[in-house]
């Protein structure tokens, strides 16, 4: 009969040379319990028993994580279970599978929390979509509505801040959010006197839920059949001359890089992504010309922008940062700058302070509409304005656009020069002697 294992004996075996092959040492106190030694010197406890007439083995655990005393208790419990007709080895395996299933379910449950789905939606859909459209900051408005913004210390990371949606639905699984929840959210935004924001909120959550349907996260969108809370016409916000002056002065105070970007948007009428993504190789400063390749514009056709003297002076005053892509407004990472939402907030704060009250709601894209409206007031013809803005609608739509190949190059140059002169008059409150001087403060 084997002797009972002792702690001293096991400690000696732990220090002893490794066995040449796997070794099982029975415990004389509990029949069926073994100390198993491996050639790797690892030791563990196991118990042998019979189930349905077949020999079975259950590994109890490694030594010293499992002590001799604990091994005897676990072994005794296993032998009792076997005497009752159960199979403890199979039960252990089934428990391991169930534990894995529950762990996976818990992870899946965490992933299905609304705030986590919203984060994944921004990272996997909204950001790539914005980059694809050459408007890398376009996702930020949707993120702001949901309650996600870039970390001020790391633009690549998202943090929860503000918004109407995540603060209300945080901690809930996206599958639990109902149509009634959506309607209640929109009613709350609408009732606080923000009907247009309620519409924007619906648009943001609808995109998120539709994306979740496409990913099989949810079976159907709770936004289906939900109508916008407020009727609204197409945007027609145009900044007045006083508002334009306030924005220019705020951009002047903002400085590099967003201040010059906003000024160039005002002087050229081009989109924020197009200006922010400007490359040095696109510029012919002597010829006063900026050429955007087809890959950088919305209608996929090369677009040339005559540059006024004011625009030229701003560009010449910019620092030249070497990057592989040659971006004029380069970030530390070598890409062009992003983060327009933060710049917009600072400009809004500056204009509100100078005006002693906030300006009526406006967005950077309204600057294009302001340029178009302002040029029209100066008597510049609509075809010229549309060429400046690179529009394919209106005058150049359809068959007319096929045959109307006139570039209006000289007319566009004259029109943008006249507009720059007008901006100079607005900024200074009088017609300046030299239009170039309106580029003051470019840095």
The predicted-structure confidence for 299-335, as pLDDT tens digits, reads as follows: 778 899 999 999 999 999 999 888 888 999 988 777 8
Say if residue 420's pLDDT is above 90. yes
pLDDT band at 360 (very low <50, low <70, confident <90, very high): confident
3 state DSSP class of 301? coil
Give the pLDDT score at 340: 83
Residue 88 buriedness (CB in 10 A; 0-12 / 13-18 / 19+): buried
CB 136 within 8 A of CB 338: yes
Q: Give the rounded percent of residues in the chain with a pLDDT score beyond 90.
A: 62
Name the segment(s) of the chain with CATH classification 1.10.443.10.
241-439
The CATH H-level (homologous superfamily) assignment of domain 241-439 is: Intergrase catalytic core (1.10.443.10)
Give the pLDDT score at 295: 85
Say if residue 280's pLDDT is above 80. yes
Across the range 23-30, mean pLDDT stands at: 93
Say if residue 401's pLDDT is above 50. no
Give the pLDDT score at 206: 95
Bridge partners (DSSP) listed for residue 23: 37
The CATH H-level (homologous superfamily) assignment of domain 7-103 is: Integrase, DNA-binding domain (3.30.160.390)
- Alpha carbon distance 60, 237 (integer Å): 74
Return contacts of 220-225, CB within 8 angstroms, 24+ apart.
222/177, 222/178, 222/179, 222/181, 222/182, 223/179, 223/182, 224/179, 225/179
- Alpha carbon distance 183, 168 (integer Å): 13
Give the pLDDT score at 391: 80
- Top CATH class, 114-214: mainly alpha
pLDDT band at 397 (very low <50, low <70, confident <90, very high): very low
Whether the bond into 41 is cis, omega within 30 of 0: no
Name the segment(s) of the chain with CATH classification 1.10.150.
114-214
Give the pLDDT score at 406: 47
3 state DSSP class of 137? coil
Comparing 235 with 328, the larger pLDDT belongs to 328
Contacts of 415 (CB under 8 A, 6+ apart): 375, 378, 380, 384, 385, 388
pLDDT band at 108 (very low <50, low <70, confident <90, very high): low
Q: Using N-to-C axis directions, what is the helix angle for 114-121 and 195-214, rounded to 10°?
A: 90
Give the pLDDT score at 234: 52
Give the pLDDT score at 441: 43
Across the range 405-416, mean pLDDT stands at: 81
Half-sphere exposure for 211 (CA within 13 Å, toward CB): 18
Q: Whole-number mean pLDDT of the chain?
A: 87
Give the pLDDT score at 235: 63
Name the segment(s) of the chain with CATH classification 3.30.160.390.
7-103
- Alpha carbon distance 277, 353 (integer Å): 30
């Amino acid at each position: 009969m084997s002797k009972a294992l002792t702690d001293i004996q096991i400690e000696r075996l732990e220090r002893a040379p490794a066995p040449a092959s796997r070794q099982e040492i029975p415990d004389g106190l509990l029949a069926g319990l073994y100390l198993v030694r491996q050639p790797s010197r690892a030791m563990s406890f196991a118990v042998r028993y019979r189930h349905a007439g077949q020999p079975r083995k259950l590994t109890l655990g490694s030594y010293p994580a499992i002590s001799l005393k604990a091994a005897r208790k676990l072994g005794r419990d296993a032998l009792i279970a076997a005497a009752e007709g159960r199979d403890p080895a199979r039960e252990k395996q089934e428990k391991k599978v169930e534990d894995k299933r529950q762990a996976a379910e818990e992870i899946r449950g965490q992933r299905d929390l609304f705030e986590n789905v919203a984060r994944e939606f921004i990272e996997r859909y909204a950001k790539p979509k914005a980059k694809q459209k050459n408007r890398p900051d376009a996702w930020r408005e949707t993120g702001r509505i949901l309650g996600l913004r870039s970390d001020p210390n790391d633009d690549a990371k998202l943090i929860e801040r503000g918004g109407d949606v995540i603060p209300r639905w945080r901690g809930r699984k996206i599958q639990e959010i109902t149509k009634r929840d959506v309607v209640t959210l929109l009613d709350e935004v609408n009732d606080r006197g923000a009907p247009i924001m309620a519409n924007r909120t619906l648009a943001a959550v609808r995109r998120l839920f539709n994306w979740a349907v496409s990913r099989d996260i949810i079976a159907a969108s709770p936004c289906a059949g939900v109508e916008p809370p407020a009727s609204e016409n197409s945007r027609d916000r145009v900044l007045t001359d006083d508002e334009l002056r306030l924005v220019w002065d705020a951009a002047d105070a903002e400085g590099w890089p967003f201040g010059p970007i906003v000024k160039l948007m005002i002087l050229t009428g081009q989109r924020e992504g197009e200006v922010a993504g400007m490359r040095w190789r696109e510029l012919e400063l002597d010829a006063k010309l900026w050429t955007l390749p087809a890959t950088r514009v919305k209608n996929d056709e090369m677009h040339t922008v005559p540059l006024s003297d004011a625009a030229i002076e701003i560009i010449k005053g910019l620092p030249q940062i070497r990057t592989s892509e040659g971006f004029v407004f380069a970030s530390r990472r070598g890409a062009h700058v992003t983060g327009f939402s933060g710049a917009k907030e600072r400009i809004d704060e500056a204009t509100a302070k100078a005006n002693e009250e906030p300006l009526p709601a406006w967005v950077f894209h309204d600057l294009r509409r302001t340029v178009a409206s302002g040029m029209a007031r100066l008597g510049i013809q609509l075809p010229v304005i549309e060429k400046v803005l690179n529009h394919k609608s209106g005058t150049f739509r359809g068959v007319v656009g096929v045959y109307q190949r006139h570039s209006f190059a000289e007319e566009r140059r004259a029109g943008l020069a006249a507009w720059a002169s007008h901006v100079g008059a607005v900024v200074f409150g009088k017609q300046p002697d030299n239009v170039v001087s309106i580029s003051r403060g470019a840095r």
